[in-house]
Structure formats: structure tokens, C-alpha cells
Amino acid sequence: MPPHVAIACGGTGGHFFPGVAVARELQRSGARVTLVVSEKPVDQQAVATVPDIPHWSVPAVGFNARHPIRFLLGLRAAMKCVRRHFEIDRPQAVLAMGGFTSAAPIWVGRRLGASTFLHESNAIPGRANRLLARSADEIFVGFEAAANHFRGRAIVTGTPVREAFRQQPTIAEPLLLITGGSQGARAINQLVTARKLTDSPILHLCGPDDLGSVKTAYAKHSPHAEVHAFCEDMPLALARASLVISRSGASSLAEFAAARVPVLLIPLPNAADDHQRANSRVAEQGGGAIVLEQSEITPELLSKLLQELMNDSSRLNMMSKAIGKLDVPDAARRISSRILEHLG
């Protein structure tokens, strides 16, 4: 019987897509994989892109210090759901990709005798992974900086990225790609639509909540901008892009590195433990990114910077090579191999 590995990767696209990359590698090695996601719309939309991988959903669990009872009730419901599934089809290993949706699969899996693993993609570990670390047999991290937070227990593997990001042909026509991540980013949406920023073509992934307002804004000054709530083919979108404006999620950075696309990063100011700024520093120090503070950047300053960059192909080429150095092509294989080694 092939080993069964459950991968808890719900909550955001930043957890889901790296989990899928590991799932594919495990499948190639002969393992059977089940994805565990939340009931949130973003997860249901994402999981629809991989219909060949079995999955099931658990109630979403989000931590809020002001509502601890609500968190505990949500966690209890999630653990009941996970136990029901695991008792029917017991995994030999559980891999958590981050977020509190991972808590129930890790704790229930460990009680049922499964080997347990965590992956932390951010430079500063999230609260969920810090909480779950004691319950993990092994911890994987995307950045060296994160390893210091796990007291020598972590292995630096890089953050897994789907191979499709490295297999796309480069498209020569200039394109500015704007994205706030799988759920969009309202501050970025408002910043980039306040005025015409560039004469180059624009592809803007704005999230579902702002789709109407973003389209209306572009109609006034950039009518040819391509606007979508969500992109099912991010490898192709990045292959088209000359430059990206984005938040600083770690999995997004790993995708930009794999696709060799330079980026203007606007870290989320209120991200937990300020992990997006920490991620940004890693990319900026390598030369592949320029970091802009949300509180300081204006449409006028952004427009000036974009005009300089989009007309400076040599600088964009240098940034492309620099961000590519952050890519770890075998990250998924490293994680898959360690899991299968534990299972003998």
C-alpha cells in the first residue's frame, strides 16, 4: 500500500499552492495525497484548479485575541471534522503549510500516530507554526532567517513552487503585473488606480471585492488595462510580466524568483509580526526587489518610478537575475524526501 500523506494547506493561496507543489512531488514518488483546506471561498476557488488531487474541507479557524471563545469553538469543530476524516482514511504523515487551519490536522494526526511536519515560508514564523512546533517531528523553512526561531530544529528547504513557473516561455512585450495576493489588497488597488501610471500594458489582479471599482477607475485613464479578480494561471501571468507590483508574501516571492520577474514590493503594514517587511528585506538585499512603504508612496512617486524602470531594460534584466538567485528549484523534492524517509 502506498503511504498516505495529508497536506493541510488552507487559509490563503500562500499556503495552498506550495502545498500542491509538495503534493505533486509526493505523487511522483508513489505516495497517495489528500489536501485539507478550509471552507473559505479563496480555498474553494484554489482547490478547483487541481481537480485530480483528492481534498476535503474543515471549518476555517482564525485566531483573534479579542474573541478567544470563538477561536476555541472553531478549533473544536475543526478537530471533530478532521478526526472523522482521519479515522475513515488514516494518513501516515501530516504536513502543515501554515495558518491555524493546520492546527487540527497536526494535533489529530499526531494523536492517531501519524508523523507530523511543518513548513514555514516567511522569514518570521507565524503564530500558528510557533504554536504547532512542539507537535512536529520535523520543521522546514523557506528562509534561513526563520530557522533561528525554531532553536535549531528547522531545515532550510526553500518554499515549494509549482514547476510551471519555470517552464513558461519568456514574452518580450512589456507588461506591468499588479497583484495583492489571492485575496487582493485594497490599498494597492486604490494606489495604482488613482491616476495613469504607465503607458505599458497592465494586468491587474485585484481580488473579488474591488473588481467593479478597479475596472471603473481604469476606464477613466487606462481603458486597455486587463483586470481580473483572480488568476488561475499565475505561471503564464508572470511569464508575460516585465515587472510586478505586489505585497510581500513569502510564497509570492518564491514564485517571482522561479519566474525571474523583478518586483516592487509594498509590504502589508499590519502583517502579523511584521513578517512581510522581513520577507521584503531578503528580496531587496539580493537586488531583485525595490521596497516601497505604503504610508510613503504616492501615485505621483510610483508613476515616476515605473516610467524609469519600464524604460530601463538593463536594470530590469539585472533585477531579474538577482531575484532568480532566491529560487530553490528542488524545495518540494527536499520536503517530500524527508517525509518519505520518516515513513521508511
30: left (phi over 0), alpha (psi -120 to 50) or beta: left
Q: Are residues 224 and 309 in the same domain?
A: yes
Q: What's the chain's average pLDDT?
A: 92
Name the domain count of the chain.
2
Does residue 69 sit in the same domain as residue 170?
Answer: no
The pLDDT value recorded for residue 24 is 96
Mark whether 80 and 110 lie in a shared domain: yes
Q: Which pLDDT does position 303 carry in this prediction?
A: 95
| Domain span holding position 121 | 4-161+329-342
Which three-class secondary structure state does DSSP give residue 342?
Answer: helix
User: What are the φ and ψ backbone dihedral angles of 118, each rounded to 5 degrees?
Assistant: -120, 145
Report pLDDT for 183.
56
The pTM of the full predicted model, rounded to 2 decimals, is 0.91
The pLDDT tens digits of the residues spanning 226-235 come to 999 988 889 9
Question: Which pLDDT does position 65 carry in this prediction?
Answer: 64
Taking alpha carbons only, the member of 210, 174, 171, 172 closest to residue 192 is 210
Say whether pLDDT at 19 is over 90.
yes
**What is residue 296's DSSP assignment?**
T
Q: Same domain, yes or no, for 190 and 276? A: yes
**pLDDT tens by residue, 59-99:** 877 766 677 777 788 889 999 999 999 999 999 999 999 98
pLDDT at 166: 92
pLDDT of 318? 97
Q: Measuring CA to CA, which residue among 157, 75, 162 is closest to residue 120?
A: 157
Same domain, 146 and 194: no
Q: Both 69 and 193 in a single domain?
A: no
Cβ-contact 33, 54 below 8 angstroms: yes
Q: Which residue has the cell 531594460?
A: 313
